[in-house]
Amino acid sequence: MNDWVFIGLGGNVGTEAEILDRFDSANRELAVLASGGRIGRSPVYRSRAAGPVGDQPDFLNQVIAFAPAPDLEPRALLAILRAIEDRHHRQRTVPKGPRTLDLDLLLFGERVIFEPPELIVPHPRLGQRAFVLAPLLDLLGGPPGKL
């Protein structure tokens, strides 16, 4: 899995069924970028909204992983993620506010990329987010002691 891409999915706008439908849609769209069409999905987690915007519904979170097609570059993937969010009516008017669909590029193989503010890999807050770490560890086989 050293060359795999890991994407965090989140959402808290709409019913649980609507959010899960958006996750399914994003998974289908991203599967076409996967070498051989294989994509791994973690279980879905529920987490409280973090950040300064209070009175938000809980988030649903998931991590997906796939081996990218050889010609897929990180900046192109980031543009694809933004386009998928836009198709699901993602609004960027309130930082850390409610979201229909949030797609974060967590890891792109073993690459370290620093092109702020848009492209930083590994994701700069990856280690601070249990709602990302738990599903990521599910895909990797468990806590580090189990790897």
Q: Give me the active site residues, please.
A: 90, 99, 102, 104
Show Cβ contacts of residue 118 under 8 Å, excluding neighbours closer than 6 positions: 78
Helical (H) or strand (E) element with 133: helix 130-140
DSSP 3-state assignment of 72?
A: coil
Task: Name beta bridge partners: 10.
Answer: 61, 102
- Say whether 96 sits in a helix, a strand or coil: coil
